[in-house]
Structure 1
Amino acid sequence: LKEPVVLPAKAPQLLINGASGIAVGMATSIPPHNLSEVCDALCYMIDRWEERDEVTVENLMGFIPGPDFPTGGLILGQEGIRTAYATGHGRLVVRAVTRIEEMKGGRWRIVVTELPYLVNKAALIERIAELVREGRIDDIADLRDESDRHGLSIVIELKRGARPQTVLNQLLKFTPLQTTFGVQMLALVDGQPRVLSLKRILQLFIEHRIQVVTRRTRYDLEKAKARAHILEGLRIALQFLDEVIALIRQAPDAETAKAQLMERFGLTEVQAQAILDMPLRRLAALERQRLEEEYQGLVARIAELEALLLDPHKILRVIREELQHLKEKYGDPRRTRILPEVTAEFTVEDLIPDEPVLVLLSQRGYIKRVPVSAYRPQGRGGRGVTGMATDEDDAVASVFACRTLDYLFFFTDQGRAYRIRAYEVPDADRAARGIPIVNLINLAEGERITAAVAVSPAWMERTEADGGDRYLVMATCLGKVKRVPLNEFLTTRSTGLMAIQLEEGDVLQDVCLSDGAGDLLLVTARGQALRFEEAEVRPMGRAAAGVRGIRLEEGDMVIALDRVDPEGELLVVTTGGFGKRTPISQYPRKGRATGGVRTIADRLEEIGEIAAARVVQPGDDIVLLTANGMAIRIPVTEIPQAGRATRGSRLIALTEADRIASMARIRALKETD
Structure 2
Amino acid sequence: MSQTERYLDLPLEDVIGDRFGRYSKYIIQERALPDARDGLKPVQRRILYAMYRDGNTADKPFRKSAKTVGNVIGNYHPHGDSSVYDAMIRMSQEWKVRNLLVDMHGNNGSIDGDPPAAMRYTEARLSKISAELLRDIDKETVDYIPNFDDSEDEPVVLPAMFPNLLVNGSTGISAGYATDIPPHHLSEIIDGVIMQMEKPQTTLEDLMTVIKGPDFPTGGIVQGIDGIKQAYRTGKGKVIVRAKTEVEELRGGRQQITITEIPYEVVKANLVKKMDELRFDKKVDGIAEVRDDTDRTGLRIVVELKKEADAKAILHYLFKNTDLQVTYNFNMVAIHNKTPKLMGLQPLIQAYIDHQKEVATRRAQYDLKKAKDRQHIVKGLIKAISILDEVIATIRSSKDKKDAKENLIREYDFSEAQAEAIVTLQLYRLTNTDITTLEEEAAELERRIHELEAILGSEKKLITVIKKGLQSVKKQFADPRRTVIKEEIEEIKINMDVLVASEDVMVTVTEEGYVKRTSIRSYTASNGEPPGMKEGDRLLDRFEMNTTDTLLLFTKLGSYLYVPVHHLPDIRWKDNGQHIANLVSVDRDDCILRAMPVKEFSESESLLFITKNGMAKRSQLSLYQAQRFSKPLMALKLKADDEVVSVMRTDGKKELFIATHLGYGLWFDEEEISLVGQRAAGVKAINLKDDDKVVDAFTFEPEDKVDLFIVTHRGAVKKMPLSEFDKSSRAKRGLVMLRELKSNAHRVIGCRRVSKETLIEILTEKGQQETIDPSAYRMSDRYSNGSFAIDSAQAGSVTEVRQTKREASE
Question: Under TM normalisation by the shorter chain, which class is it?
Answer: 0.5 to 0.7
Q: Is the 8 A contact 2:288 2:306 kept in 1?
A: yes
TM value normalised by structure 2:
0.44
Q: Secondary structure at the match of 2:153?
A: coil
Q: Distance in 1 between matches of 2:497 and 2:154?
A: 60
Is 1:25–2:171 an aligned residue pair?
A: no
Match of 1:310 in 2: 457
Matches within 5 A, 1:238-277: 238-277=385-424
Q: 2:440 aligns with which of 273, 284, 293?
A: 293
Q: Distance in 2 between matches of 1:37 and 1:441?
A: 60
Match of 2:233 in 1: 86
Q: Distance in 1 between matches of 2:417 and 2:294?
A: 66
Moved more, 146-155 or 13-22: 146-155
Q: Is the 8 A contact 1:144 1:156 kept in 2?
A: yes
Residues 210-229 of structure 1: CA deviation (Å, up to 9, x unaligned): 11111111111111111111
Q: Is the 8 A contact 2:240 2:489 kept in 1?
A: no
Is 1:223–2:223 an aligned residue pair?
A: no
Residues 282-327 of structure 1: CA deviation (Å, up to 9, x unaligned): 1123333222211211111111111111111110111111111111
Q: Distance in 1 between matches of 2:601 and 2:366?
A: 88
Match of 1:353 in 2: 498
Offset of residue 340 of structure 1: 0.8
Indicate how the Cα distance of structure 1 residues 292 and 21 shifts in structure 2: closer, same or farther if over 3 A, else same.
same
Q: 1:325 aligns with which of 455, 469, 472?
A: 472
Q: Distance in 2 between matches of 1:441 and 1:164?
A: 37
Percent of residue pairs bearing the same amino acid type: 43
Matches within 5 A, 1:407-426: none
Q: Distance in 2 between matches of 1:280 and 1:119?
A: 68
Q: 1:127 aligns with which of 274, 281, 286?
A: 274
Match of 1:335 in 2: 482
Indicate how the Cα distance of structure 1 residues 129 and 256 shifts in structure 2: closer, same or farther if over 3 A, else same.
same
Q: Is the 8 A contact 2:284 2:499 kept in 1?
A: no
Structure 1: which amino acid aligns with 2:461?
K
Q: Distance in 2 between matches of 1:229 and 1:433?
A: 97
Structure 1: which amino acid aligns with 2:603?
V
Q: Distance in 1 between matches of 2:387 and 2:434?
A: 16
Q: Distance in 1 between matches of 2:189 and 2:432?
A: 51
Match of 1:161 in 2: 308
Q: Distance in 1 between matches of 2:343 and 2:601?
A: 58
Q: Which has the higher contact order (CA 8 A, sep 6+)?
A: 1
Q: Distance in 2 between matches of 1:162 and 1:188?
A: 52
Is 1:175–2:340 an aligned residue pair?
A: no
Matches within 5 A, 1:566-585: none
Match of 1:67 in 2: 214
Q: Secondary structure at the match of 1:278?
A: coil
Q: Distance in 2 between matches of 1:138 and 1:437?
A: 26
Is 1:279–2:426 an aligned residue pair?
A: yes
Q: Is the 8 A contact 2:180 2:330 kept in 1?
A: yes
Match of 2:188 in 1: 37
Q: Distance in 1 between matches of 2:401 and 2:599?
A: 114
Structure 1: which amino acid aligns with 2:180?
S
Q: Secondary structure at the match of 1:194?
A: strand
Offset of residue 10 of structure 1: 1.0
Q: Secondary structure at the match of 1:353?
A: helix
Residues 133-192 of structure 1: CA deviation (Å, up to 9, x unaligned): 222122110111111221111111001100100110111111111011111100001110
Q: Is the 8 A contact 2:276 2:289 kept in 1?
A: no
Structure 2: which amino acid aligns with 1:263?
R
Matches within 5 A, 1:360-509: 437-438=602-603
Q: 1:186 aligns with which of 333, 341, 358?
A: 333
Q: Is the 8 A contact 2:242 2:325 kept in 1?
A: yes
Residues 9-39 of structure 1: CA deviation (Å, up to 9, x unaligned): 0111111010000000110110000000001
Structure 2: which amino acid aligns with 1:209?
Q
Indicate how the Cα distance of structure 1 residues 31 and 284 shifts in structure 2: closer, same or farther if over 3 A, else same.
same
Q: Distance in 1 between matches of 2:392 and 2:281?
A: 96
Is 1:58–2:205 an aligned residue pair?
A: yes
Q: Is the 8 A contact 2:372 2:449 kept in 1?
A: yes
Indicate how the Cα distance of structure 1 residues 202 and 222 shifts in structure 2: closer, same or farther if over 3 A, else same.
same
Q: Is the 8 A contact 1:166 1:352 kept in 2?
A: no
Q: Is the 8 A contact 2:179 2:334 kept in 1?
A: yes
Structure 1: which amino acid aligns with 2:216?
F
Structure 2: which amino acid aligns with 1:438?
E
Q: Distance in 2 between matches of 1:306 and 1:212?
A: 15
Offset of residue 441 of structure 1: 10
Residues 551-599 of structure 1: CA deviation (Å, up to 9, x unaligned): xxxxxxxxxxxxxxxxxxxxxxxxxxxxxxxxxxxxxxxxxxxxxxxxx
Match of 2:357 in 1: 210
Residues 44-69 of structure 1: CA deviation (Å, up to 9, x unaligned): 112213xx3xx221111111110000
Q: Secondary structure at the match of 1:7?
A: coil
Q: Secondary structure at the match of 2:603?
A: helix
Offset of residue 231 of structure 1: 0.9
Q: Is the 8 A contact 1:68 1:335 kept in 2?
A: yes
Q: Is the 8 A contact 1:281 1:287 kept in 2?
A: no
Matches within 5 A, 1:521-540: none
Q: Distance in 1 between matches of 2:601 and 2:422?
A: 110
Structure 1: which amino acid aligns with 2:407?
Q
Structure 1: which amino acid aligns with 2:175?
V
Q: Distance in 2 between matches of 1:435 and 1:221?
A: 84
Offset of residue 3 of structure 1: 2.7
Residues 404-433 of structure 1: CA deviation (Å, up to 9, x unaligned): 9xxxxxxxxxxxxxxxxxxx9x9xxxxx99
Q: 2:291 aligns with which of 128, 136, 144?
A: 144
Offset of residue 440 of structure 1: 7.7
Q: Distance in 2 between matches of 1:436 and 1:150?
A: 51
Offset of residue 434 of structure 1: 5.6
Indicate how the Cα distance of structure 1 residues 59 and 436 shifts in structure 2: closer, same or farther if over 3 A, else same.
closer
Q: Distance in 2 between matches of 1:288 and 1:439?
A: 110
Structure 2: which amino acid aligns with 1:347?
K
Q: Secondary structure at the match of 1:155?
A: strand
Q: Is the 8 A contact 1:111 1:155 kept in 2?
A: yes
Q: Distance in 2 between matches of 1:73 and 1:434?
A: 40
Match of 1:393 in 2: none
Indicate how the Cα distance of structure 1 residues 136 and 436 shifts in structure 2: closer, same or farther if over 3 A, else same.
closer
Match of 1:561 in 2: none
Offset of residue 353 of structure 1: 2.8
TM value normalised by structure 1:
0.52
Structure 2: which amino acid aligns with 1:292?
E
Indicate how the Cα distance of structure 1 residues 441 and 95 shifts in structure 2: closer, same or farther if over 3 A, else same.
farther
Offset of residue 354 of structure 1: 9.1
Q: Distance in 2 between matches of 1:152 and 1:3?
A: 41
Q: Distance in 2 between matches of 1:122 and 1:63?
A: 35
Structure 1: which amino acid aligns with 2:224?
G
Size of the aligned set, in residue pairs, is 371
Structure 1: which amino acid aligns with 2:388?
L
Q: Is the 8 A contact 1:29 1:184 kept in 2?
A: yes
Structure 1: which amino acid aligns with 2:194?
C
Indicate how the Cα distance of structure 1 residues 2 and 440 shifts in structure 2: closer, same or farther if over 3 A, else same.
farther
